[in-house]
Amino acid sequence: MRSLFRPPVLPDAGVLDDHRPLIRSLERRGFLRGGLSLGALTMLTGCDVSDSTSVGQALRAISAFNDGVQAALFDPNKLAPEYPASAVLKPPRFNAYYPIEEVKPVDGAAWRLELAGLIQDRTPWTREKIAALPQRETIIRHVCVEGWDYIGQWSGVPLRTFLERVGADLRAKYVAFKTADDYPSSIDMATALHPQTLLATTYAGETLPDPFGYPLRLRMSTKLGFKNPKWITAIEVTNTYPGGYWEDKGFNWFSGL
């Protein structure tokens, strides 16, 4: 089946062998030891991540290596701290790659969640079908790559529950998302199966408001904020690297907390 997502080409990690002088230079400057993302490295070097030159390839390889280290350290059973309802910010803070005035509300009655890839039952889902599945609530911290954070109270279907219900291949590498605001994103399967990873439909006990992802958004306790897409319209399970909106611009793909 043809993918709903445009998979970019991953760099060959072996390119690192050809760029040891550059890497040693970055290490001496403290960048790699500090875990700096590819996005930050590209700003420092003036190199665009789409650059096909040796420097661009080396930076991509460094980021791929960083992803591998984070994935190896990730504990799929460790829960993030949860907080009392009294700490919840109401309403949540808006964040997107455009201002809140440009949000285009989704028609919930016409909305359908499309499925693709390594999934046995790819029948589209309605809001009512999703609401009928077992729900979970979590009060967790949202951490933005820009440096701010807040405590949010999210309820919805555990992504694991949904993936099991539709017969997804849980051995696949990636779960990718398509959204109404053209903000593709993707996560590793281990994070998708984490107990605190939700397909959220409510915030602080009320239906998710339009500016914050109605009718369905991803909410995770183990990733930076930009990894949580809003207004989800499609989910794909795949072994082909799907990338993402900011990831394709140089942000670290794994981006775990």
| Cis before 91 (ω within 30) | yes
Closest-CA residue to 219 (of 208, 211, 227): 227
Supply the range of the domain harboring residue 239: 85-249
Backbone angles phi, psi at 17, to 5 degrees: -60, -25
Residue 97 and residue 60 share a domain: no
Mean pLDDT, residues 155-168? 98
Burial of 114 (0-12, 13-18, 19+ CB in 10 A): middle
Residue 161 CB-half CA count within 13 A: 16
Burial of 65 (0-12, 13-18, 19+ CB in 10 A): middle
- Assess if residue 5 is contained within a domain: no
| Cis before 92 (ω within 30) | no
In the prediction, which pLDDT does 55 show?
A: 59
Strand 114-117 and strand 232-238: pairing? parallel
Percent of the chain with pLDDT strictly greater than 90: 68
- What are the residues whose beta carbons fall under 8 Å from the beta carbon of 217, sequence distance 6 or more? 199, 200, 208, 228, 229, 230, 231, 232
Residue 64 and residue 109 share a domain: no
- Assess if residue 184 is contained within a domain: yes
Residue 129 and residue 228 share a domain: yes
CB atoms within 10 A of CB 27: 11
In the prediction, which pLDDT does 64 show?
A: 73
- Assess if residue 35 is contained within a domain: yes
Is there a contact between 118 and 168 (Cβ–Cβ < 8 Å)?
yes
- Cα(164)–Cα(167) distance, integer angstroms: 5
Domain count, the chain: 2
Backbone angles phi, psi at 66, to 5 degrees: -60, -40
- Assess if residue 7 is contained within a domain: no
> Which amino acid, residue 158?
P
pTM above 0.85, yes or no: no
- Cα(242)–Cα(229) distance, integer angstroms: 14
pLDDT digits (tens, 9 = 90+) for 177-186: 999 999 999 9
Burial of 191 (0-12, 13-18, 19+ CB in 10 A): buried
Taking 60 as the threshold, does the pLDDT of residue 255 lie above it? yes
In the prediction, which pLDDT does 17 show?
A: 54
Residue 116 and residue 32 share a domain: no
In the prediction, which pLDDT does 35 show?
A: 45
Residue 204 and residue 97 share a domain: yes
In the prediction, which pLDDT does 10 show?
A: 44
Work out the pLDDT band at 30, boundaries 50, 70, 90: very low
Mean pLDDT, residues 6-25? 48
Average confidence score pLDDT of the chain:
85
Residue with more model confidence, 14 or 204:
204
CA distance to 7, 64, 177, per residue, from 14 (Å): 20, 11, 29
Mean pLDDT, residues 227-247? 97
Burial of 159 (0-12, 13-18, 19+ CB in 10 A): buried
Residue 228 and residue 137 share a domain: yes
In the prediction, which pLDDT does 6 show?
A: 45
Residue 231 and residue 126 share a domain: yes
Of 27, 50, 73, the residue that ends a domain is 73
Residue 116 and residue 66 share a domain: no
In the prediction, which pLDDT does 1 show?
A: 46
Question: Helices 38-45 and 54-73, interaxial angle, to 10°?
Answer: 160
pLDDT digits (tens, 9 = 90+) for 56-106: 666 667 667 777 778 788 888 899 999 999 999 999 999 999 999 999 999
Residue 90 and residue 41 share a domain: no
